[in-house]
Amino acid sequence: MTGLLTAVMTLLRRDLILALRRRQDALVVLGFFVVVVSLFPLGVGPDPQLLRSMAPGVLWVSALLATMLSLERLFADDFRDGSLEQILLAPQPLSLLVVSKILAHWLVTGLPLVLASPLLGMQLGLNGTEILTLMGALLLGTPILSLVGAIGAALTLGLRGGGVLISLLILPLYVPALVLGAGALDAVMYGSSAQAHLSLLASLLIVTLLLAPWAIAAALRIMLD
Amino acid sequence: MAEQRVQWFKFASPPNFYDLSGRLAPWFAALAALLAVIGLYIGFILAPPDYQQGNSYRIMFIHVPTAWMSMFLYVLMAVYAAIGLIWRIKTAEAMAKAIAPTGALFAFLCLWTGALWGKPTWGTYWVWDARLTSQLILLFLYLGYIALHAAIEDRQRASDASAILALAGVVNVPIIYFSVVWWNTLHQGASITVTSAPAMETVMFAALMVMTFACWMYAIAVVLWRARLELMERERRSAWVVERMGAEKP
Amino acid sequence: MIEFLAMGGHAPYIWGSYGVALVVMVAELALLRRRRKTLSLRLQRLARLGQEDRGDSTQDT
């Protein structure tokens, strides 16, 4: 048991140190999110009412695209330098090690999106409670995006044009998270409670957390076999 | 029991599947054509025009079967993919791959006919109705499966990887469907309300059923033909393919 | 007959639906047929090559 915990913690620490050494990767994802959201007013005009009503969709679709952008790197570096094979050979269950890798990925790319969202929410004219709801929904939703996206990242490992392929594979699977996440903000904006959305989003997170690691582990074994 | 098991595996072996499917597929195709003629006769000649929609409701006889087929086929594809992944049965892998293009085709036809039915009924080709939207996402899922299968060169790896994707998809399909339905009811104010179909007359129901069976038979025939080709391409070096190739004229 | 084809003014929608369905299905069958022909040509060529010089073509990936 302690061996398992040590392995998971070691892997997590290693991934975080690597991410810290290559800070620009995470910053690019965050920058992409901020720039895309900021481009929308330029595209649709500065009408505050329109921007407010579009905010849930704009913020969530941008978060989705930013996550997509980061997925290709999730396993690719470890695949290239051979450390992924070492992880596959480890005696610990692969699905748990995979969860640790995804946790590191989320801490580096998903969490910054959550933390930057209030600023973008204000840009689009959201008020205090709406911004809190947005952050709560993103906090529950971005781990889902990382977990589901990791399936796509594992399945396209080592393929040419893998980055574009991931989006075709994964974006349809993001629909529930998008609907529930954007819906939570929508509900608050139209004066009802976001509780139903947030509870469903939380249960979706739990289900994804239970099922996705198996699929990712199986996909990694297939692609590295 | 044991004998039945042997028989099943005998059927699943590529050469036996090849021979049997080659004999059966033309019959399924003929049955499909026959049923389509009967279904269209009932649907266009016997069934009266609808008192509300006039004649445009007759699109239903192709729209609804294609919608059902695209959903059934996705589940069937995932089942075959799982069988291929777990028991390493090549025939099942070929079936899963062979189902995908036909399923995508039915999903496309469902969207196309839905749009053409929508125009005279709701006054617009496309509404973000829950069923149309989830059908669109289903088409994307099919396209993703086909793209992944095509992107991986090694055939075994391609089957296994796309099997994982099909399984992830099939777990997601109900979640996607319910989230889209929910999204649709929440945004009801902005979209056009889709009234439920009035109680269907028996003759219309009969046409719908016959057309559904026609689509099933068509799908079976096409999938069997494609699966045979898949198997032949995969096993082109083995004796059974060479043997059968010699007997055939190109 | 003309009246039947006009479908009470809904002709483009109805025949557009059934026409495209027919075209797409026939196209699928035609594509399968062509794929079968090219495959069987290729396999027969491979078989002939294999008969001419037995050896390198018997084993492959």
For residues A159 and A165, the answer to whether their CB atoms sit within 8 Å is yes
Closest CA in chain B for residue C16: B116
Domain of B206?
26-233
DSSP A22: T
Number of domains composing chain B: 1
DSSP B76-111: HHHHHHHHHHHH--HHHHHHHHHHHHHHHHHHHHHH
pLDDT band at A1 (very low <50, low <70, confident <90, very high): low
Give which of B216, B195, B176, B186 is closest to A193, Cα–Cα. B186
CA distance B53 to chain C (A): 10
Rounded to whole angstroms, the Cα distance separating A187 from B196 reads 27
Number of domains composing chain A: 1
Give which of B192, B177, B172, B182 is closest to A181, Cα–Cα. B182
Segments in B88-201 forming alpha helices (H): 90-122, 130-151, 155-186
CB-based burial label for A73 (10 Å; 0-12, 13-18, 19+): buried
The dihedral formed by the CA atoms of B239, B240, B242 and B244, expressed in degrees to the nearest 10: 160
Rounded to whole angstroms, the Cα distance separating B200 from B183 reads 28
Cβ neighbours of residue B185 closer than 8 Å, sequence gap 6 or more: B130
> Other C-beta atoms within 10 Å of C8: how many?
14
CATH number, domain of B35, equals: 1.20.120
Show the tokens assigned to B183: 């999204």
Please indicate, yes or no, if residue C25 is contained in any of the structural domains. yes
Considering CB atoms only, which of A165, A171, A179 is closest to B179?
A179
Number of domains composing chain C: 1
Please indicate, yes or no, if residue C45 is contained in any of the structural domains. yes
What was the ipTM of the complex prediction?
0.91
pLDDT band at B195 (very low <50, low <70, confident <90, very high): very low
C-alpha triplet B184, B190, B193: angle, nearest 5°: 65
Please indicate, yes or no, if residue C59 is contained in any of the structural domains. no
CB < 8 Å from B in window 162-221 of A: 162, 165, 168-169, 171-173, 175-176, 179-180, 183, 186-187, 204, 211, 215, 218-219
Question: C16 CB near a chain B CB, below 8 Å?
Answer: yes
The verdict on a CB contact (< 8 Å) between C10 and B55 is yes
Please indicate, yes or no, if residue B246 is contained in any of the structural domains. no
Give which of A135, C28, A53, A10 is closest to B215, Cα–Cα. C28
pLDDT of the residue at B49: 81
Secondary structure (3-state) at A78: helix
Please indicate, yes or no, if residue B2 is contained in any of the structural domains. no
- Token pair 């989006």 in the structure block, residue: A167
> Other C-beta atoms within 10 Å of B51: how many?
7
Rounded to whole angstroms, the Cα distance separating A112 from A27 reads 9
Give which of A224, A85, A217 is closest to A158, Cα–Cα. A224
Report whether pLDDT(A208) > 90.
yes
What sign does the dihedral A147-A151-A154-A156 (CA atoms) show?
Answer: negative
Residue-wise pLDDT tens digits, A80-138: 888 899 889 988 889 999 999 999 999 999 999 999 999 999 999 999 999 999 999 99
Report whether pLDDT(A178) > 50.
yes
The verdict on a CB contact (< 8 Å) between B241 and C43 is yes
Rounded to whole angstroms, the Cα distance separating A188 from A52 reads 12
Identity at A16, one-letter amino acid code:
L
Question: Mean pLDDT in chain B?
Answer: 86
Please indicate, yes or no, if residue C47 is contained in any of the structural domains. yes
What sign does the dihedral C4-C8-C14-C15 (CA atoms) show?
Answer: positive
Rounded to whole angstroms, the Cα distance separating A103 from B21 reads 48
- Report which listed range, A152-166, B8-22, B193-207, is most confident: A152-166
Write the CA distances from A143 to A48, A117, A136, A155, B186, integer angstroms.
31, 15, 12, 19, 25
Question: B66 CB near a chain C CB, below 8 Å?
Answer: yes
Cβ neighbours of residue A110 closer than 8 Å, sequence gap 6 or more: A67, A142, A143, A145, A146
Residue-wise pLDDT tens digits, A32-82: 999 999 999 999 988 999 999 999 999 999 999 999 988 988 898 889 888
Residue-wise pLDDT tens digits, B218-250: 999 999 999 999 998 888 878 888 777 766 654
Chain mean position to CA B55: 27
Domain of C24?
3-53
Q: How many beta-carbon pairs below 8 A join chains A and B?
A: 72
The larger pLDDT score, comparing residue B242 to residue A190, is at: A190
Span B42-50, mean pLDDT? Answer: 86
Rounded to whole angstroms, the Cα distance separating B114 from B99 reads 22
pLDDT of the residue at A183: 92
Rounded to whole angstroms, the Cα distance separating A219 from B29 reads 37
Please indicate, yes or no, if residue C61 is contained in any of the structural domains. no
The larger pLDDT score, comparing residue B60 to residue B238, is at: B60
| A/C Cβ contact: 3+ pairs below 8 Å | no
pLDDT of the residue at B247: 63
Please indicate, yes or no, if residue B9 is contained in any of the structural domains. no
pLDDT of the residue at B248: 61
Which chain C residues have a beta carbon less than 8 Å from that of B153?
none
pLDDT of the residue at A136: 96
Span A164-191, mean pLDDT? Answer: 92
Q: How many residues make up chain A in this entry?
A: 225
The verdict on a CB contact (< 8 Å) between B164 and A180 is no
Backbone torsion region of residue B54, taken as left when φ is above 0, otherwise alpha when ψ lies between -120 and 50, otherwise beta: left
Give which of A84, A66, A94, A220 is closest to A157, Cα–Cα. A220
Domain of A169?
2-224
Write the CA distances from B216 to A19, A45, B100, B174, integer angstroms.
52, 50, 15, 22
